[in-house]
Each structure stands twice: as structure tokens, then as C-alpha cells.
Amino acid sequence: METIRILQVDAFTNEPLTGNQAGVVPDGNGLSSDQMQAIAAEMAVSETAFVRSSDVADRRIRYFTPTQEVDLCGHATIGTFAHLHDEGLEPGITTLETNVGVLEIDVASDGAVWMTQDEPTFDEVDVGYERVADALGVERAALEGARADLPLAVVSTGLPFLIVPITYLSDLGDAEPDMVAIERLTDAVDAAGVYLFTFDALEAASTAHGRMFAPGAGVPEDPVTGTASGAVGAYLDHFGAFDDDLPEELRLEQGHYVDRPGRVRVRLDGAVQVGGRGVTVLDGSIVVPPADDDEILEA
């Protein structure tokens, strides 16, 4: 039986068994889409990254949840390049081909990985606070109380998320999401998931605390979400949350309510950059499932 190397890397943390778990296949060349999907389902983490060769960048990554391919994944990218740095990748800027285009990845000398995301897009949506509150299992007043000048909006820096502010950390923690209703909501606004956040964070140095739900992608609650963090950073800047005093770096907490705490760093100077560390916690091999004879393998 053919086997390939596979790892589990905890991203957006420097402590093992925290942050967001990513599967990483360092050599995904020759695997078909069906084989990658089967491996991702077996790994059963929110995303598995398959590193492949590219004609237009230094590397290519394809990302699979346990149920489907997604165009981009922040924590799996951070995890992949944290592993590559551990394996000898020199600090500096490298390029990465994804389904959303070619992105720049900056690996710092201390092992932190910075991912430049796409130019943000913004779409204010009129879905009603009652529907959003019911889907998330929160009080409507808790959403409306956080409103001020921050609307419900779908924001994308490579993957679209419905961004929803809520008043207090206790409101965020008390959420009892209805996954069926959330999937219907995200389908209605053409978003990959819902990012619910509050400025009422645990640490004084943190900008906000968030939770992200994406049942339509096979991820009921994601521990720490890089693409959503980039989107919420762009959202806060676009809708004037900081007046004229934009912080040099945002720090977003996530994962505490699923016992996988992590922190995402976001920079907004000229482009949206998401950064963090990664820790390899499992390194082994997996049996390659049989190829579908009807599918042409990709190089």
C-alpha cells in the first residue's frame, strides 16, 4: 500500500494542543481531488492543506474540509509554512498559488508566518437582526446594542464571512447556534460562515474576541480562523471602528469556547496581513486511498 507523510500542526499558537488544528500533506503532487478529499475526511480537522508544485508561484496549496474543497484557509496556510520553516525554509517572502490567486507569505526569523490576503470587498446585508439572533442563539438586543455604526456585512479577503458584532463577552459565550439555521443564513448571503465578535476581550492587549460558525463547509465551530480574522480586521477599518487612530496591529482572540485558545495578529497597513505561529504536534503517514479511474491525476 502506498503511504504519504502527513502532519497535524496547531496554528495561531506556540503551545501544543491549542489553537486551530490543520492537517498538512507536504507532498500532495499526484493526488486526485477525490484522494485529497478522502484524506481530509480521515484527518477530521477543519481543513487539511495539500502542498503541490506550481507553474506561477513557489508553491501551490489546495485546502479541503472533511466534506469539501475550499478556496483559501488561513490557519492551514500558517500551519503549513510554520512546518516548512521548521524543515529549513529560510525566512523571507515566498509566493503561494491558491484558488483565489497568488498570495505573498512572509516567514519571519522567529517562525511567525504572515499571509497577505486579497483586497477586501464589503457588502452590507439586510437579513434582519431577528433572523441572525435566532440562528446564533443570542438575544436580539445583544446584537442591536453593539450596532452603533457597525452593520451586518459580508466581507471577504479571499473567503466571504458574515461579520456580526455583539455587545458583551458573556453574550458571545452564551450563544447557542442553530447549525441548520446558520447554514441557511450563510447560503442566503453567499458567505462561507458567520463571525460573531465583541470588543469585550479577555486580555487588555486584545482588540476583540470572536467565534466562527461554518456548518455549510462541514465546520460547526472553527477554533481560530485566519481568513475570517483578516475579514473582520478589514471590516473594522472600513466602517470606522478606530476613528482616525488605526492600531499598528490588531490582536483577535478565538477558540476559548471550544478549549482551543489561539490569537491572530492582523495588520492593515496597505494590505490585509494575517499572522501567527504554528506547532507540529503529530508527524506520521497515511495510506493513500485508491484513485478514481475516471479522474485524471494532477501533477
The per-residue pLDDT for range 214-246, each reduced to its tens digit, is 999 889 999 999 999 999 999 999 999 987 788
CA atoms within 13 A on the CB side of 88: 0
**Beta pairing class for 273-276 and 278-287:** unpaired
Residues facing residue 113 across a β-bridge: 107, 276
Average pLDDT over residues 1-15: 96
**Residue bearing cell 478514481:** 292
Confidence band of 59 (pLDDT split at 50, 70, 90): very high
The answer, yes or no, to whether residue 295 has pLDDT greater than 60, is: no
The residues carrying an active-site annotation are 47
CA 272/CA 266 separation, integer angstroms? 7
**Beta pairing class for 113-116 and 273-276:** antiparallel
Average pLDDT over residues 5-21: 97
State the CB neighbour count (10 A cutoff) for residue 126.
7
Question: Closest Cα to residue 134, out of 174, 173, 178?
Answer: 178
Domain annotation for the chain: domains and CATH numbers: 3-116+278-287 (3.10.310.10), 121-270 (3.10.310.10)
Residue type, 11: A
Residues facing residue 141 across a β-bridge: none
Average pLDDT over residues 252-264: 97
- pTM greater than 0.85: yes
Instruction: State the pLDDT at residue 244.
Output: 73
SS3 of 226, please? helix
Angle at 275 between CA 273 and CA 280, to 5 degrees: 145
**Residue bearing cell 501551490:** 60
Backbone angles phi, psi at 37, to 5 degrees: -65, -40
- Residue 147 is inside which H or E element, if any? none
